[in-house]
Amino acid sequence: MPLQRQVGEATIVALSDGEGPFFESRTKAFPTATPDDWRKADETDPASVTAGGGWLLRFRCFAIRLGNRTVIVDTGIGPADAPAASWAPVPGRLPAALDEAGIHPDEVDTVVLTHLHTDHIGWAVQAGKPFFANARYLMQQTEIKAIEEYASPAGPYALDPLRAAGQLDAVDGEHRLAPGLRVIHTPGHTPGHQSVLVESDSGALLVTGDLLVHAVQLVAPETAYTHEMDSDLARTTRVALLRDLAGREGGATLAVPHLGDPFVDL
Ligand SMILES: [Zn+2]
């Protein structure tokens, strides 16, 4: 049974696409983190440390089921020929994880792609066709622009086939999916990075995307990550949103792609 959480009427299901060591040392990835930050991070998330003191990364997607809606947030590292193959342990196992969760790809109505990085767009397509045949794929307009501007591999691999199939929707800022379920713009990691916020009277849950990628950015939210495209903006976004969520009555939960556990209660 996959790990899941309930927020009001919404069920949020964690889907594992794979795991593997990061390609560079964690001190290089988070150069400003102090020994004290690392000690706190490792206490919070011991499962993300390799035997050799490196960073063990999970690659996770989430499904949100609400009424007759099925929304997928991010699509992992993808099949063997996906662009993440240059650094991540492809093929991912998202199709099996969906099956275990009782979700058929054809019943997914919306796919939210948080950002352009190759470990988030992998199963958007398979063999040049949308993997989720009946879904609208949502990406921020600014992210689509960045993909084109920086000639990201996400363009030819995912955007072009999604566009050709007429399944790509450009979103500008906040976008409501259903009552209590919305996409929010969380820029910094990439220009058009977006997250998904689930809210009910009893609490809130944020599917973060790469708003934070390691527990060190949870225990010390000001910590920059080398692969953020705009570290200052990423920091501002992360600090403000984590503060907002932590202060909410009824509490809040993060659903995270890369930490050891899929859900973190604030
Ligand atoms: Zn990522």
| Cα 236 to ligand 1 centroid, rounded to whole Å | 19
The fold of 4-261 is Metallo-beta-lactamase; Chain A (3.60.15)
- Pair of tokens at residue 25: 């040392």
| Cα 66 to ligand 1 centroid, rounded to whole Å | 25
Handedness of CA 222, 25, 34, 61 (dihedral sign): positive
Q: What is the pLDDT of residue 60?
A: 98
| Cα 254 to ligand 1 centroid, rounded to whole Å | 15
Q: What is the pLDDT of residue 56?
A: 97
What's the distance, Cα to Cα, between the start and end of the chain in Å? 24
| Cα 194 to ligand 1 centroid, rounded to whole Å | 12
Q: Which residues surround ligand 1, an ion (CB under 5 A)?
A: 119, 210
| Cα 105 to ligand 1 centroid, rounded to whole Å | 22
The domain spans of the chain are: 4-261
Q: What is the pLDDT of residue 1?
A: 56
| Cα 263 to ligand 1 centroid, rounded to whole Å | 16
Q: Which residue has the tokens 């909410």?
A: 248
| Cα 133 to ligand 1 centroid, rounded to whole Å | 24
Strand 125-126 versus strand 69-73 pairing type:
unpaired
| Cα 167 to ligand 1 centroid, rounded to whole Å | 23
| Cα 201 to ligand 1 centroid, rounded to whole Å | 30
| Cα 200 to ligand 1 centroid, rounded to whole Å | 27
| Cα 243 to ligand 1 centroid, rounded to whole Å | 22
Q: Consecutive 10-residue runs of the chain (266 residues): their mean pLDDT?
A: 90 98 95 97 96 95 97 98 96 98 98 97 98 98 96 96 98 98 98 98 96 98 97 98 95 97 97
CB contact set of 19 (below 8 Å; sequence gap of 6+) = 56, 57, 58, 59, 89
Q: What is the pLDDT of residue 250?
A: 86
